[in-house]
Amino acid sequence: MACKSGGDLKTLAVVVSGMTCNHCKKAVEDAVSGVDGISSASVDLNKGLLMVVYDPELVDFTKIQDAVVRAGYGARQG
C-alpha cells in the first residue's frame, strides 16, 4: 500500500472497574477518545467493558489504561 494513513486498526476489549452509571460510561469514553490513535471508544456499562478501536502504531494498551485511570477508574486487558 502506498498510503500509510488508514493503516490496520485493531479492536481491544478492556475490562473497566468502578463504573456505576451513564456518567461513568461517558467519562471513560471521553477520556479514551481523547487519546492519540484512538478511532473509537464505547463502553458497555452492563458488562463493564470498553471496546476500543485503535491504531497500534500510535497507541497501546498502557496508554489506554492510563486514560481510564486518570478518569478515576480501573482497567485491565479483557
Taking CB under 5 A as the criterion, the residue among 3, 8, 21, 70 binding Cu ion is 21
- How many Å apart are CA 5 and CA 45, to the nearest integer? 32
Q: Residue count at the site for Cu ion (CB under 5 A)? A: 4
Is 70 a binding residue for Cu ion by CB under 5 A? The answer is no
Is 24 a binding residue for Cu ion by CB under 5 A? The answer is yes
Taking CB under 5 A as the criterion, the residue among 5, 20, 46, 62 binding Cu ion is 20
Which residues fall within 8 angstroms of residue 49, CB to CB, at 6 or more apart? 13, 14, 15, 16, 43, 78
Stretch that binds Cu ion, among 21-29, 42-50, 53-61, 62-70 (CB under 5 A): 21-29
- How many Å apart are CA 18 and CA 28, to the nearest integer? 10
- How many Å apart are CA 58 and CA 23, to the nearest integer? 28
Site residues (vs Cu ion, CB under 5 A): 20-21, 23-24
